[in-house]
Amino acid sequence: MDFHVEFTPKPFDVRINHQHKLMLIGSCFTEQIGAKLANHKFSVMDNPNGILFNPVSITRSVSSYIDNKQYKSEDLFYQNECWNSWEHHSRFSNPDKERCLLAINASQTQAHSFLKKADWLLITLGSAFVYELPFPLGEELGVRSVVANCHKVPTDKFNKRLLQVDEVVAALQQMIKKTMSFNPGLKIIFTISPVRHLRDGFVENNRSKATLIHAVHQLVENNNNCFYFPAYELIIDDLRDYRFFAEDMVHPNYAATNYVWDKFVVACIDEPSQQLMKEIAVIVAAKNHKAFNPSSEQHKKFLQTNLEKVKKLQEQYHYIDFKDEAAHFKL
Q: What is the mean pLDDT of residues 153-173?
A: 94
| Mean pLDDT value across the chain | 93
C-alpha 165, offset from chain centre: 22
Four-way CATH pick for 21-269: 3.20.20.70, 3.40.50.1110, 3.40.50.620, 3.40.50.300: 3.40.50.1110
pLDDT for position 4: 79
Q: What is the mean pLDDT of residues 136-145?
A: 48
pLDDT for 136 beyond 70: no
Q: How confident is the model at residue 315 (pLDDT cuts 50, 70, 90)?
A: very high
* CA atoms 47, 48, 49, 55: torsion sign: negative
Burial (CB count within 10 angstroms: exposed 0-12, middle 13-18, buried 19+), residue 50: buried
Domain with CATH 3.40.50.1110 in the chain: 21-269
pLDDT for 135 beyond 80: no
Closest alpha carbon to 9 in 184, 255, 262: 262
Q: How confident is the model at residue 143 (pLDDT cuts 50, 70, 90)?
A: very low
C-alpha 158, offset from chain centre: 26
pLDDT for position 218: 98
pLDDT for position 1: 64
pLDDT for 34 beyond 50: yes
pLDDT for position 144: 54
Q: What is the pLDDT of residues 87-123, one digit of tens each?
A: 999 999 999 999 999 999 999 999 999 999 999 999 9
Between residues 156 and 113, which one has the greater pLDDT? 113
pLDDT for 61 beyond 60: yes
Q: What is the pLDDT of residues 172-227, one digit of tens each?
A: 999 999 999 999 999 999 999 999 999 999 999 999 999 999 999 999 999 999 99
pLDDT for position 157: 85
Q: How confident is the model at residue 137 (pLDDT cuts 50, 70, 90)?
A: very low
